[in-house]
Amino acid sequence: MALHRLISVTIGVPNVDETRSYYAEFGLTPEADGWFSTRDGGRQLRIVEAPMRRAVELRIGADDADDLDRIANNLRGLGIEAVRSPGSITAVEPVTGVRAIVTSGEHVVLLEVPATPYNGPGRYERVGTRAPGVVRADPIRPRKLGHVVLGSTDIAVTESFFITGLGLKVSDRIKDAGAFLRCSTDHHNVLVLAAPVGFLHHTSWQVDDIDEVGRGATRMLEADPTRHIWGLGRHHAGSNFFWYLKDPAGNFSEYYSDLDCIIDDQLWTPETFEGARGLFNWGPPPPPSFLAPEDLGALMSGAHSVG
Ligand SMILES: [Fe+2]
CB contact at 8 A, 20 and 47: yes
Q: Ligand 1 mean position to 70 CA, how many Å?
A: 29
Q: Ligand 1 mean position to 126 CA, how many Å?
A: 30
- Which residues form the domain of 196? 3-106+140-301
36 part of a folded domain? yes
Q: Ligand 1 mean position to 86 CA, how many Å?
A: 33
296 part of a folded domain? yes
Q: Which residue, among 40, 55, 46, has the nearest Cα to 23 in the 3D structure?
A: 46
Q: Ligand 1 mean position to 159 CA, how many Å?
A: 17
Say what the pLDDT of residue 278 is: 87
Q: Quick check: 306 pLDDT over 60?
A: no
Total of domains in the chain: 1
Q: Ligand 1 mean position to 62 CA, how many Å?
A: 23
40 part of a folded domain? yes
Q: Ligand 1 mean position to 237 CA, how many Å?
A: 10
Say what the pLDDT of residue 305 is: 65
247 part of a folded domain? yes
**pLDDT tens for each residue of 97-127:** 999 999 998 777 777 888 999 999 999 999 9
Q: Ligand 1 mean position to 135 CA, how many Å?
A: 27
Q: Ligand 1 mean position to 194 CA, how many Å?
A: 15
120 part of a folded domain? no
Q: Ligand 1 mean position to 56 CA, how many Å?
A: 18
Q: Ligand 1 mean position to 284 CA, how many Å?
A: 16
> For 106, left (φ over 0), alpha (ψ -120 to 50), or beta?
left
Say what the pLDDT of residue 269 is: 97
CATH of the domain at 19: 3.10.180.10
How large is the C-alpha radius of gyration of the chain? 19
**pLDDT tens for each residue of 70-88:** 999 999 999 999 999 999 9
Say what the pLDDT of residue 307 is: 44
> How large a percentage of the chain has pLDDT more than 70?
98
306 part of a folded domain? no
pTM: 0.96
Say what the pLDDT of residue 302 is: 87
Q: Quick check: 261 pLDDT over 60?
A: yes
**pLDDT tens for each residue of 148-200:** 999 999 999 999 999 999 999 999 999 999 999 999 999 999 999 999 999 99
126 part of a folded domain? no
**pLDDT tens for each residue of 213-255:** 999 999 999 999 999 999 999 999 999 999 999 999 999 999 9
Q: Ligand 1 mean position to 245 CA, how many Å?
A: 11
Q: Ligand 1 mean position to 155 CA, how many Å?
A: 17
Q: Ligand 1 mean position to 276 CA, how many Å?
A: 15
147 part of a folded domain? yes
Query: ∠ CA 103-12-173 to the nearest 5 degrees?
Result: 65
